[in-house]
Chain A
Amino acid sequence: MTEFYSLPNTGEFWHWTNALHFVLVGLAGGMALLAAILTLRQHPERNRYLWLAALLIVLDLFVLWAESPARWRFSHVWLFLGLHPSAPIWWGAWGLALSLVATLAVVLKPWVGFLRRIPEQLPGLLLLLGSLVALAYPGFALAVNTTRPLWNSMMLFLFPITALLMVLAVALLLGSEWARRWESWAAVLSLGLLVAYPFTLPEAARTHLLHEGLLGYALAGLLIAVAALLFRNPRWAAALGLAGAVGLRWVLVMVGQFQSPGL
């Protein structure tokens, strides 16, 4: 039996606002990737997605700012200009910033003269780069914590893939037919990862997941499974896939704050 005088800081350190960020940043990064590809391919729908990407990035940054207890202290903003390549959050900040600049460089063309002189391929490539960083960063931000066994290297795949599932689902819901095939693939991949994930966990972590997150995890799995298999009605599949991916990311962020046993 373990007893304490005073308690170690085992409480939740990331709250629902942070979970929300992990959803929004997936949407933002994924949307930026779609926009980058569409821009590079000069797809007629590209502007819509560039706008969406910009909007989601701004929304995500706003959430981050609003939830931070340090939000009225701006002295740290320039600190990101330092070089901290070992910190995934530093990469994430740059990825989002780059993506935002690149999207704006394209969408603001009609109003800003000098932007017209830049060929769209350049911001397109930058956006591709930024979006890939933004897509990858959440998984790294979690997986880097070797002391939290639920956040294992599966995060590196789960987070980008579910991000793609989310944005492709959104694209489908917006009526972009080209997303249909990719959305199914993302759903199938997500489902595969979701099923495999518990088996990659050490026992204590798995037990914790099943104790604390079983309902959410199972529900997310069910939604994604239905999305992956319900080809008949792509809209429904998209909606369910989106919900499942959001739920899965949420569960992983909240339940994953589990300290590995050994103390």
Chain B
Amino acid sequence: MARLGMLIDLSACVGCAACAVACKMENQVPAGASRLWIREREVGTFPNLTVEFRPEQCNHCENPPCVPVCPTGASYQTPDGLVQVDYNKCIACGACVAACPYDARYINKKGYADKCTFCSHRIAKGQQPACVETCPTYARVFGDLDDPNSEISKTLKAAGRQDVLRPEMGTRPKVIYLNAPSKKGLTQEVTRHD
């Protein structure tokens, strides 16, 4: 069985949001909800600056906190390691939304929880997820992490710095970020008290 994952090269990403719009169109995501968004953050002081453009979406965690809390089995992991929602089993209780450390899920008004599926309907047809296919900066690679010959495995092997979001949560995300622009790794929100 495959172990599907995605990597995003932050040194390539310009935060143009082509992926986010492609996702919105492909999946007809309702207004006010997102399956994919860009976080843009500056680091440093003039003129020694970097900017991190960071697309975020469901991480399809290997240890997904959203799955065990589901009371009906609607949230589940596929044999390929994707975290999915069976819309017909979902009661929209919001337990999975609460459990997700990445704000990746939302409740669709039609009565189910929803989120990035890695475009499973496209994968099934042998296509790439919409965000990967459209990316004009070649920042995204999607594929089987278990196949040593896949582009994603080869890229990861050759890569320098690798990061995931919130590693301390123990979720083991399968969206992997390469080349974070800051030497300290992925940026984090500085909480302000103003």
Contacts and interface: CB of A to CB of B under 8 A. Distances in A.
Interface of A: 1-11, 13-14, 18, 68-73, 75-76, 79-80, 82, 84, 86-90, 92-93, 141-142, 144-148, 204, 207, 257, 259-263
Contacts of B107: 13, 69
A68 B98 contact: no
B103 interface: yes
A86 B69 contact: yes
Q: Is the interface of A mostly helix, strand, loop or mixed?
A: loop
A72 B104 CA distance: 26
A70 B91 CA distance: 6
A170 B99 CA distance: 33
A1 B70 contact: no
B84 to A, nearest CB: 16
A80 B71 contact: yes
Interface of B: 15, 17, 20, 24, 32-34, 36-42, 56, 65, 68-74, 88-95, 97-112, 165-166, 168-169, 188-189, 191, 193
A68 B93 contact: yes
Contact of A76 (B36, B72, B102, B109): B72
A146 B68 CA distance: 13
B95 A87 contact: yes
A263 B105 CA distance: 15
Contacts of B193: 207
Given A5-B15, A5-B40, A70-B112, A147 B20 contact: no
Contacts of A80: 71-72
A142 B88 CA distance: 25
